[in-house]
Amino acid sequence: MAKRDYYEVLGVPRNASEADIKKAFRRLAMKLHPDRNPDDKVAEERFKEAKEAYDILGDAQKRAAYDQFGHAGVDPSMGAGHGPGGPGGASFSDIFGDVFGDIFGGRGGGRQQSFRGADLRYNLTLSLEEVVHGTTVKIRVPTLATCETCDGSGARKGSQPTKCSTCGGVGQVRMQQGFFSIQQTCPRCHGEGVMISDPCPTCRGAGRVEESRTLSVKVPAGVDNGDRIRLAGEGEVGEKGAPPGDLYVHIRVKEHAIFGREGNDLFCEVPIGFTTVVLGGELAVPTLEGRVMLKIPPETQSGKMFRLRGKGVRPVRGGTTGDLLCRVSVETPVNLSEEQKEILREFEATMERDGGHHSPKQSSWLDGVRSFFDGMKF
């Protein structure tokens, strides 16, 4: 049976780059792999065909011979070159390590690398004053640190880890499955390549111990709820001397009794007496820097918003300081005496004699209500 063109098998043009050829074979291999297609003879044959095509086209010298002479240039039975797996050719194990190494985490041989330590998270709750002005706080963080007894090796002081007898110190073993082999992490040493026969009594061979550290965290002025501060290298230490992770301090701001915050602006609600809003006056308003006097114009309506420029929050990354927004809320008098009630009745009578022009919003609203009912048909 005549062999198909290798470029056709991989589905690439004849001018395809080495990277394109490798990518095409990887895609086919993942699709046709026998583990994904058990008892599928067609898929198995196509997998072999794709492997053979990649073995030729993935090698510059073999590809040149194939481009010039076709299958005759690479088939030893036809008197030229070497076929797949033949003398000078790469075995399928080599191809598997080269192509599937990127997928399954290894390229054949060699000890697995130690991984960087884990990142840690710490939730830090602060007051509004602390985040607006900035502060420095000390926190205590539980973490994994290098064992000082064995200096992180995991072996008892004076002893050394020994080479793993299963993998010979490379951290990986080959498993033969039918016509191909795969490379896996050594089940005995878990990819370390070494075994600890006499573990450290302090860390029990782990090389790391649990401990709590006290750290100083500088909180810059202007941070907000949900912001985080990164402390590089303050996370868990890595295994076998690998670098440590980072510590991320997440800011949480406690609810304030007076102020709320939206971005760089602060806001508050200011209760104000009936007489003050009618006649005008001054009102002491709190800010995070101290009191300021707010001038209330006569005839101020309830809900009026006053803006105090620059009395908000300075942005953590620089820029214009926010404002303080004060919303006045007229407080209805309570616990009035009979004399005070009589004075209010007399006041109300004078308001009615003037025709209601002292309450323009109320008058216009009542006019609208009357028009609404006049237009209704019962």
In tens, the pLDDT along 36-94 reads 777 888 888 888 898 899 989 988 888 888 887 787 777 755 444 344 444 344 334 44
Q: Which residues of 51-75 are buried (b: 16+ CB within 10 A; e: fewer)?
A: bbbbbbbbbeebbebbeeeebebbb
Closest CA to 328 of 257, 247, 272: 272
**Residue length of the chain:** 378
Residue 223 domain-assigned (yes or no): no
Instruction: Find the mean pLDDT for residues 341-351.
Output: 87
Q: What are the φ and ψ backbone dihedral angles of 44, each rounded to 5 degrees?
A: -65, -45
Q: Which residues of 17-26 are buried (b: 16+ CB within 10 A; e: fewer)?
A: eeeebbebbb
Last residue of a domain, one of 78, 104, 130: 104
| pTM passes above 0.85 | no
Closest CA to 116 of 248, 232, 244, 206: 244
Residue 303 domain-assigned (yes or no): yes
Amino acid at 166: T
Residue 112 domain-assigned (yes or no): no
pLDDT, greater one: 274 or 129: 129
Residue 80 domain-assigned (yes or no): yes
- What's the structural domain count of the chain? 3
Which of 29-33, 45-49, 259-263, 323-327 shows the lowest mean pLDDT across its residues?
A: 29-33
Residue 249 domain-assigned (yes or no): no
Judge if 274 and 305 occupy the same domain: yes
Last residue of a domain, one of 40, 69, 104: 104
Name the residue with tokens 């926010």. Answer: 322
Instruction: Find the mean pLDDT for residues 200-205.
Output: 87
- How much is the pLDDT for 19? 83
- How much is the pLDDT for 80? 40
pLDDT, greater one: 136 or 362: 136
DSSP annotation string for 137-159: EEEEEEEEEE-TTTTTS-BPTT-
Asked if the model's pLDDT at residue 238 lies above 60, the reply is yes
The beta strand positions in 147-246, using DSSP E, are: 162-163, 172-177, 180-185, 194-195, 208-219, 228-231
Alpha-carbon separation of residue 106 from 29, 193, 199, 278 (angstroms): 17, 14, 28, 81
Average pLDDT over the chain, rounded to whole? Answer: 80
Judge if 12 and 97 occupy the same domain: yes
Alpha-carbon separation of residue 105 from 90, 100, 113, 378 (angstroms): 20, 8, 10, 82
Residue 184 domain-assigned (yes or no): no
Residue 171 domain-assigned (yes or no): no
Tokens of 263: 């971005």
Judge if 281 and 324 occupy the same domain: yes
pLDDT, greater one: 85 or 188: 188
- How much is the pLDDT for 62? 86
Region of 230 please: left (phi>0), alpha (psi -120 to 50) or beta.
beta
Q: Residue 362: in which H helix or E strand, if any?
A: helix 360-375
Domain region containing 363: 347-375
Alpha-carbon separation of residue 319 from 21, 154, 259, 289, 312 (angstroms): 53, 52, 22, 19, 12
Highest mean pLDDT among 62-76, 90-104, 152-166: 152-166
> Cα(54)–Cα(34) distance, rounded to whole angstroms?
17
Task: Tell me whether strands 265-273 and 324-331 are parallel, antiparallel or unpaired.
Answer: parallel
> Cα(227)–Cα(378) distance, rounded to whole angstroms?
60
Judge if 48 and 97 occupy the same domain: yes
Tokens of 273: 């007496």
